[in-house]
């Protein structure tokens, strides 16, 4: 069995003990991380190696930053999206075994209609083009991370409150679907189409304890990987740890 996971850690410097403990407990073959919030030269490589993992990363101080941790040495890493000039470090790709792994920290967008929302639109258009290119040369492709889009009403604790709001707007959901139309499948929705499986809970108002969240962290897989997919789950207990990230890890298991 192969386990591939994603986790927005909301500062690797703060959450490193959580990541190391989680790696020891779950032993994923691959773990994609988002929101590292540290410079390229500040990545805790020795601690990751001591845990039994190799790593490639794309760091940025204070904001953004992504990484791929894996038990096998990641090959042919590419930082950022080709043909898209962006100072924000939001993408890294590498090949692990026979799988092309693309880790993404997608743009939030702030509010529908804002300048940041326009940036989010340009960013998703570039991502779609980038992923389509990768799929041409890598049959086994997985795109995973924090997408900042809840693709279905079941992925939102209160559909009326979030109706046409950022992360849940019809427009953003169309961008998400356009990405799937490249040849990808939403693995968790495929396994549990009728189940509410949240991955993010606001720090405010005890949202986690009240189980009021959104599903915005996804593992998207190409058709050959979908045929090997066995299950997808959310490791919600990590959200309840002391000083947690506001996201929980998502884990896909493959034959």
- What SS3 class is residue 246? coil
Answer whether 4's CB lies under 8 Å from 30's CB: yes
Q: What is the mean pLDDT of the chain?
A: 98
Average pLDDT over residues 102-116: 98
Structure tokens at 7: 């986790």
The strand order across the sheet containing 99-105 reads 75-79, 91-96, 99-105, 141-146, 217-222, 184-186
Helices and strands: H and E segment counts in the chain? 7, 12
Sheet of 54-58, strand order = 54-58, 66-70, 30-34, 2-8, 250-254, 229-234
Predicted local confidence at residue 123, as pLDDT:
98
Q: How many CB atoms lie within 10 A of CB 81?
A: 20
CA gap 152, 222 in Å, rounded:
20
How sure is the predictor about 139, in pLDDT bands with cuts at 50, 70 and 90?
Answer: very high
Residues classed as catalytic: 105, 146
Q: Which residues contact 19 (CB under 8 A, 6 or more apart)?
A: 7, 9, 12, 31, 33
H/E segment holding residue 150:
none
pLDDT bin (cut points 50, 70, 90) of residue 153 is: very high
**8 A C-beta contact, residue 179 and residue 131:** yes
pLDDT tens-digit series, residues 2-30: 999 999 999 999 999 999 999 999 999 99
Q: How confident is the model at residue 192 (pLDDT cuts 50, 70, 90)?
A: very high
Q: How far is CA 12 from the centre of its chain?
A: 15
Q: What is the pLDDT of residues 42-80, one digit of tens each?
A: 999 999 999 999 999 999 999 999 999 999 999 999 999
């Amino acid at each position: 069995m192969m386990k591939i996971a994603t986790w927005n850690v909301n500062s690797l410097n703060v959450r490193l003990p959580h990541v190391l403990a989680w790696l020891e407990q779950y032993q994923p073959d691959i773990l994609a991380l988002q929101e590292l919030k540290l410079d390229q030269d500040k990545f805790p490589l020795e601690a990751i190696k001591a845990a039994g993992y190799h790593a490639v990363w794309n760091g940025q101080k204070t904001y953004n930053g992504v990484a791929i941790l894996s038990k096998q040495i990641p090959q042919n890493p590419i930082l950022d999206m080709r043909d898209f000039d962006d100072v924000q470090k939001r993408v890294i790709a590498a090949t692990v075994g026979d799988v092309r792994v693309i880790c993404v920290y997608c743009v939030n967008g702030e509010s529908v209609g804002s300048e940041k929302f326009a940036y989010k639109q340009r960013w998703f258009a570039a991502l779609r083009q980038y992923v389509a290119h990768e799929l041409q040369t890598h049959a086994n492709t997985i795109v995973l991370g924090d997408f900042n889009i809840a693709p279905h009403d079941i992925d939102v604790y209160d559909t009326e409150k979030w109706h046409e709001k950022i992360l849940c707007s019809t427009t953003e959901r169309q961008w998400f679907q356009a990405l799937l139309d490249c040849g990808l499948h939403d693995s968790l929705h495929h396994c549990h189409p009728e189940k509410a499986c949240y991955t993010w809970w606001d720090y405010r108002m005890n949202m986690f304890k009240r189980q009021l969240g959104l599903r915005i962290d996804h593992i998207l897989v190409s058709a050959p990987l979908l045929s090997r997919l066995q299950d997808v789950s959310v490791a919600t207990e990590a959200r309840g740890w002391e000083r947690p990230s506001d996201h929980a890890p998502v884990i896909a298991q493959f034959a």
